[in-house]
Structures are given as C-alpha cells and as structure tokens.
Structure 1
Amino acid sequence: MQTKQTIAIIGATGNMGSAISKSLLKGNYRLLLKSGDQGKLNNLVKEIKSNNMAADVEAAPCPTEASWEADIIILAVPFEAEKEIAENIKEVANQKIVISIANPLNETYNGLVTAPGTSAAEELQKLLPNSKVIKAFNTTFAADFSTPVIDGKQVDAFIAGNDGDALESVKALVSLAGFNPIVAGDLSVSRTLEHMQLLLIQLGMKSNYNWLAGWKILHN
C-alpha cells in the first residue's frame, strides 16, 4: 500500500494556492493549508470538504508547523514573500522538496525584479540550502487548473530542479493537476521559465486571453 504523503501549501487562499489545493485532492495526499487570512482559509477548507467529504485536508496554524509535518512544501506566494517564509521554515524543510511557483514580476509587468543571471527559484535555493527546491506551476494560470485542456490540447507545465528524485515526485503532482509535465532542466532553467510566464502575461493583457492560456510544445 502506498504511503500517504503530506503536502503543505503556504498561501493556500490565493488564486494559485486555491487552484493547486483543489487539484491535488484527487491524489493520495494529506493537505495542510496555510494562509495569512484565517477566515478565507476556513472557508476554503469547508468548501473542499463540502465537495469531497473524504478529503484529507485541514488548516495549519503556522507555516513552520505545516512544513514540519510535510513531505512536500509548496510556496504559493509572491516572490517578495518567499524570503520571510524561508527563514521560518529553513530548519524544518531540511532535505524536503520545496516548490517555488513565484514569478518575480515588477509592478508594471514589463520585466522581472530579479537580477540577470538568477531566478526566484535559485534565490529560494540559496535561502534553503538543505532543501530540494523545484520550480513548478509558474507557467500556468490559476484558470488553467479547471481547464487544463485548451483548444483540444493539454497544457504543458514545465519543471526545473537539481534533484532527480524530487523532479519525479513533482512530475506526479503536475500530472495529477491535469497538465502534461515537462522537465526542462536544472534549477538555472527557472530563469527561462519565469521569463516565459512574463511573456504569456504580457500577451494575455494585449490579446485578452482572460487568464486562460498556456504553453504547448508541438513535436513529432
């Protein structure tokens, strides 16, 4: 029998955090959800359980406790919030998978705030040197989780990281969420992935995609 893993989702009530939380209920996971808005968090847990009484999900009192119990930690928070969270979970995230979904966008969406030659995920890895940081879910919009097939094509979701076993674990989560997982390379490839989403956001704003758009590699 497969051992049930625990996933902590920090920032669970945001658009992405909520979408990820709901998408992972189909798997054999225990979900610990954490948000700065306790009212929204309680409502999210109630909503999930009302739709699925058997859902193994609960609100977590703090990110440190949630991360201590977790096998996999998903930081569904903006880039600027990652540093403080990393400081709080550094010890309890030792040797654990930590997923960064952040895109370090500037306020006008015409560039990234990270310096050239680095990425949000690489900066997080520096803050969590003993964790297995993986980039995932950053090239998808929240709306894609409910509609992962667009125009008859399954949206590709790209993953980057330095640990092979961790990449395989995250591939399973991405597939469970409904996307086609593609391991793009090591963590440095996060620089490209974050720029890809910046471009998709810019195109969406220009062409009115209504936040329902995704990347697809066509090949033979």
Structure 2
Amino acid sequence: MKTTQTIAIIGASGSMGAAISKSLAKGNYRLLLCANDRSKVEAVAGDIKSSLPAAAVEVVDCSKEASWEADIIVVAVPFAAEQEVAAKIKEVANQKIVISIANPLNDTYDGLVTAPDTSAAEELQKLLPNAKVVKAFNTTFAADFATTVIDGKQADAFIAGNDEEALQTVSELVSTAGFNPIVAGNLAVSGTLERMQLLLIQLNGKYNYNWLAGWKILHN
C-alpha cells in the first residue's frame, strides 16, 4: 500500500499557495500549510476543511518545521522571497523534492529579472544543491485551479527537472490538481516556461482573459 506523502506548502496564504493547497487537498496527501500570517493560513485551512472534511491539513508556524516533516516542499512565494525561504529550509531539504512555482517578473511585467541563461528554478537549485528542484505550477494562473477545463479543454501544466522519479511524483501532483501534466525537459527548460507565463500575463492584460487562461498543446 502506498504511503501518504506529506507536502509542505510555504506561502499557503497567497493566491497561488492557497489555490495549490485547495487542489492538492483532494488527493491522498497530508498538507502542512505555513506563511508569515498565520491567521490567513488558518482561513485557507478552514476553507479546505469546510469543503473536504476528511482532508489531512495542518497549519504550521515555521517553514523549516513544515519542511522537516515533508516529503515534498512547495515554495509558493514570489521570486524575491525565494532566497530567504531557501536559507531557512536548506538543511532540511536534502534529497527532497522542492517545487519552484515562481516567475521572476519585473515590476512592469515586460521582462524577467533573471539573466537570459538562468531561471528562478535554477537559482533555487543553486541555493538548495542537495534538493531535487522541479519547476511546476508556474504556467497556470491561480484562477485556473478552480476551472482547469477552459473552453472544453483541460489546461496543460508544464514540469521541468533533472530527477526522473521527482518528475513522476510531481506529475501526479499536477494531475491531482486537475491539469494535464507535460514534462517539458530538464531544469534548464525552466527559463522557457517562465517566459511562457510572462507572455500569458501580457496577453491577459491585452485581451482581458480575466486571469482565466492556460496553455494547451494540440497534437495528433
């Protein structure tokens, strides 16, 4: 029998962190939610419990404490906060899957703050050299988690990483959240995925998608 995996979601009070938490609560996972504002995290946990009474959800004060218990760590914080989070969890993230969802956008949403030859995920991997960093959930808007089928089609969600087993595990998480997982390649592909979401954000502003839009690969 497969053991229940424990997932720490750091930044669970934010729009993306809350959306990921609520989606993964539908699966056979134990969730440890944490963020700087405990009251906001407790509100997210309360929402989950009201709709899924059997969900295994706990609110934890400290990102390090949550990560110590976790098999998988979701870093659901803006790119600017990744370095601070990495410093807190570094010693407890060894050999664990760490999911980078960040898109390193500049303040005007017309470019990225990372150098052309790197990405938020690759920078996080440098900060956590002994963790298995996987890029995921960055090509989806928070609103998509409640509506993963858009215009009759299930939105794709792209994943990148260097560890095959970690990619398989994260693919299962993406499926639980309701998206169609597509492994795009190794961690170096993260820069492309982050630029894809920059484009989608720009298109959202131009065409008023109301933050409900996603990517779909059409193929035969």
Shared fold by TM > 0.5? yes
1:37: Cα distance to partner? Answer: 0.9
Q: Distance in 1 between matches of 2:20 and 2:204?
A: 21
Q: Distance in 2 between matches of 1:38 and 1:61?
A: 7
1:41-99 CA-partner distances (Å, limit 9, x unpaired): 11111221122221100101100000000000000100000001101100100000000
Match of 1:159 in 2: 159
Counterpart of 1:121 in structure 2 is 121
After superposition, what is the alpha-carbon deviation per residue over 1:124-174, rounded to whole angstroms, capped at 9, x for unaligned?
000000000000000000000010011111100000000000000000000
Instruction: Look up the match of 1:83.
Output: 83
Q: Distance in 2 between matches of 1:199 and 1:47?
A: 32
Superposed CA deviations along residues 13-51 of structure 1, whole A, max 9, x for unmatched, are 111000000001111100000011111111111221122
SS in 1 for 2:31: strand
Distance of 2:155 and 2:184 partners within structure 1: 15
- Range 49-58 or range 27-36, more displaced: 49-58
For the residues of structure 2 that align with 1:46 and 1:207, how far apart are their CA atoms?
Answer: 35
Which position in structure 2 is the counterpart of 1:14?
14
Question: For 1:215 and 1:47, how far apart are their aligned partners in 2?
Answer: 28
Runs of 4+ in 1 over 4 A off after TM superposition: none
Distance (whole Å) between structure 2 residues aligned to residue 47 and residue 123 of structure 1: 33
Give 1:194's aligned amino acid. E
Q: CA RMSD in A?
A: 0.6
With the length of structure 2 as denominator, give the TM-score of the two structures: 0.99
- Partners of 2:173 and 2:27 lie apart in 1 by 8
Question: Which amino acid in the other structure matches residue 28 of structure 1?
Answer: N
Contact 2:122 2:187 in 1 (8 A): yes
Secondary structure of residue in 2 paired with 1:190: helix
Alignment of 1:44 with 2:44, yes or no, is: yes
- Partners of 2:26 and 2:47 lie apart in 1 by 15
Matched positions, count: 220
Q: Equivalent residue for 1:23?
A: 23
Unaligned segments of structure 2, at least 5 residues: none
Name 2:191's counterpart in structure 1. 191
1:201 corresponds to: 201
Q: Quote the residue 1:134 is aligned against.
A: 134
Query: In the aligned structure 1, how far is the partner of 2:192 from the partner of 2:23?
Result: 25
Question: What residue number does 1:170 align with?
Answer: 170
- Between stretches 37-46 and 195-204, larger displacement belongs to 37-46
Structure 1 residue runs of 5 or longer lacking an equivalent are: none
